């Protein structure tokens, strides 16, 4: 578990299924991600179990973000290149908590956690051009824009430019 001034970051558990169903059944939250829009609690439980199975067994790399014991989102960093310590940073926050600084607080805590274990870790993240709030989070935690990939994000019937960020 990781703690920040306002948040706790804990491992995934199906006990947070109701909170995550609220998150993942809101199209505004998931529209710029590859998370499927959920319609049942069973789908949510399956997705949480999938997240648990994807978690690195020797080093926790994805967390539930808790605010007052309620799951308000998730933050993680998928290992993209173990030999070079390159991690793909991502986060999702429930819409009612947007604009409160929780995403940057959780992402910063996760980065410090990883850097404590792997001081040379490189973080990469992507944000669609239509999501300036997420780009602001990345800049706030110290990532810099590296390049723009035209039409790099495709979901359903729309394509958007994908802006790449890194701390390297």
pLDDT digits (tens, 9 = 90+) for 25-53: 999 999 998 888 999 999 999 999 988 88
pLDDT digits (tens, 9 = 90+) for 119-143: 999 999 999 999 999 999 999 999 9
Our count of domains for the chain comes to 1
Provide the whole-model pTM: 0.92
Full domain range(s) for residue 122? 2-166
Overall size of the chain counted in residues: 168
Measured from the Cβ of residue 84, the count of other Cβ atoms closer than 10 Å reads: 11
CB-based contacts of 150, cutoff 8 Å, min separation 6: 161
pLDDT at 78: 87
Question: For the domain that residue 15 is a member of, what is the CATH number?
Answer: 3.40.630.30
Strands 144-155 and 122-128: unpaired
């Amino acid at each position: 578990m990781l703690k920040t001034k306002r948040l706790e970051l804990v491992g995934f558990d199906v006990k947070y299924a109701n909170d995550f169903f609220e998150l993942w059944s809101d199209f505004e939250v998931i529209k710029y991600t590859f998370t499927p829009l959920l319609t049942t609690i069973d789908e949510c439980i399956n997705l949480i179990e999938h997240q648990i199975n994807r978690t690195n067994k020797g080093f926790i790399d994805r967390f539930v973000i808790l605010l007052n014991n309620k799951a308000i989102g998730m933050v993680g960093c998928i290992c993209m290149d173990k030999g070079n310590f390159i991690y793909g940073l991502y986060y999702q926050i429930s819409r009612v908590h947007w604009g409160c600084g929780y995403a940057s607080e959780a992402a910063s805590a996760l980065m410090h956690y990883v850097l404590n274990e792997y001081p040379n870790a490189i973080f990469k993240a992507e944000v669609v051009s239509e999501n300036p709030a997420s780009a602001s989070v990345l800049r706030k935690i110290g990532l810099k824009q590296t390049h723009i990939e035209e039409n790099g994000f495709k979901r359903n019937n729309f394509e958007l430019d994908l802006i790449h960020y890194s701390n390297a």
